[in-house]
Amino acid sequence: MFAALITGLNKVEMVEFPDPTPAPNGVVVDIAFCGICGTDIHAYQSGNPYNPAICGHEWSGTLSAVGSDVKSFSEGDRVVVAVAPACGQCAPCRAGQADRCMVSLLSALGRDAMAPKHGGFAPRIAVDAMRIVKTNPLLNDAQAAQVEPTTVAFHAVRRSGIRLGDIAVIQGAGPIGLGAMQWVKAAGAGVVIVVEPNEQRRALATELGAHHVVVPGADADRLVKELSHGLGADIVYECVGRSFAVQSAVDLARRGGSMCLIGLADQDAPITPVTWLMKEISVSSALAYNHEEFEMCMGMIADGRFRTEPLHSLTVGLDGLDGALADLASGTSVHTKILVDPRV
């Protein structure tokens, strides 16, 4: 069996692996779709060493084999990838901080004991049964493959402390930014502003319900000031994942406002500390998600509160992954979420 891995700068290789078999407490999933994540794009652009277990970590599929000790799943079950539930045994769990469980964190990073040697850019994958959740039956496989990034955005907005009626700014209209925007609306924001340089993505933000869309820079500064009567936004979500965007998020916030860091920049960010201090900015950040949030997200996709279909703009086979990564890394792509179907 061959799996696609990002192995260097602008380099994707098809690497041969043994056909997977389940461990006693594991399963084998036949992949239906696997989404391309922003971390995949960053790895492709940077050429920095990249954990193979998370090279393709947004997948859905069907169980084709189940380990002897697995009792809660059966062959034929449709599943999505998730993070392991809290273990109850590590130091954070014993301290009553199950949402900070080290087992959950390591599974999200692909560093747990049963981490596979490749991700979901493959026909099949063997994982620990704790890493999967049964797919909501109202979701199709393409929707299910977008549950993981949807849950990233859900977790961030849930942590951010947004309040009913807030003026919220989302920096970046990629899949995570557009996801955050939808959750911000669901959480009751009064005004939602999306800041994005790409014209197609601005149009998509409008389609998904943004009240205002604007290009970054002076135009964004003026619009936020105008809509907030000169104060600035109550909360700004940084979803660009580039170092320059961290300070700009704080610049758009009002005094006493908040900034939520979601985008993962791979370089140190230049900031102006006096601005943070003078504004008394509250900062939250979000990495990955909690196990129970997957069920919540699938329910709200199923009932229409969150829309995945407009985000999915292209499907490619494994042989199209290299070209899709190059397109998304160009900064001029017309695509938002590209799914890889290893069956074609």
- Domain CATH code at residue 123: 3.90.180.10
113 contact partners, CB below 8 Å, separation of at least 6: none
Measure the CA–CA gap between 83 and 293, rounded to whole angstroms. 10
Q: Model pTM greater than 0.85?
A: yes
CATH number at residue 169: 3.40.50.720
Measure the CA–CA gap between 194 and 176, rounded to whole angstroms. 12
Residue whose C-alpha is closest to residue 328's, from 43, 59, 108, 122: 43
Q: How far is CA 45 from CA 42, 49, 196, 229, 329, in A?
A: 5, 11, 20, 40, 7
Q: What is the pLDDT of residue 155?
A: 97
114 and 55 housed in the same domain: yes
CB contact at 8 A, 326 and 333: no
17 and 99 housed in the same domain: yes
12 and 135 housed in the same domain: yes
List, in sequence order, every beta strand (DSSP E) within the chain. Answer: 2-8, 11-16, 26-35, 58-66, 78-81, 124-128, 132-134, 167-171, 191-195, 212-214, 233-238, 253-261, 282-285, 312-316, 337-340
Determine what percent of the chain is predicted with pLDDT higher than 90.
92
Measure the CA–CA gap between 25 and 310, rounded to whole angstroms. 37
1 contact partners, CB below 8 Å, separation of at least 6: 16, 17, 18, 19, 20, 122, 123, 124
Question: Can you read off the two tokens belonging to residue 80?
Answer: 């999505």
Would you tell me how many other CB atoms lie within 10 Å of the CB of residue 292? 14
184 and 265 housed in the same domain: yes
Query: In this structure, is residue 301 part of a structural domain?
Result: no
Q: What is the pLDDT of residues 132-142, one digit of tens each?
A: 999 999 999 99
Q: If you average pLDDT over residues 78-101, what whole number do you get?
A: 96
Work out the mean pLDDT of the chain and round it to a whole number. 95
129 and 228 housed in the same domain: no
Query: In this structure, is residue 294 part of a structural domain?
Result: no
140 and 168 housed in the same domain: no
6 and 21 housed in the same domain: yes
Q: What is the pLDDT of residues 126-163, one digit of tens each?
A: 999 999 999 999 999 999 999 999 999 999 999 999 99
Residue whose C-alpha is closest to residue 169's, from 208, 224, 125: 224
CB contact at 8 A, 103 and 90: yes
Q: What is the pLDDT of residue 332?
A: 87
Question: Can you read off the two tokens belonging to residue 191?
Answer: 């005004």
In the numeric block, the tokens 């060493």 are attached to: 49
- Phi and psi at 5, nearest 5°, equal -130, 145
Q: Give the alpha-carbon dihedral of 261, 81, 6, 124, to 10 degrees.
A: 180
Residue 225, Cα to own-chain centre: how many angstroms? 29
CB contact at 8 A, 53 and 119: yes
Q: What is the pLDDT of residues 258-292, one digit of tens each?
A: 999 999 887 899 999 999 999 999 999 999 999 99
CB contact at 8 A, 263 and 285: no
Domain extent at residue 204: 151-285
Query: In this structure, is residue 303 part of a structural domain?
Result: no
DSSP character at residue 319: G
Q: What is the pLDDT of residue 126?
A: 97
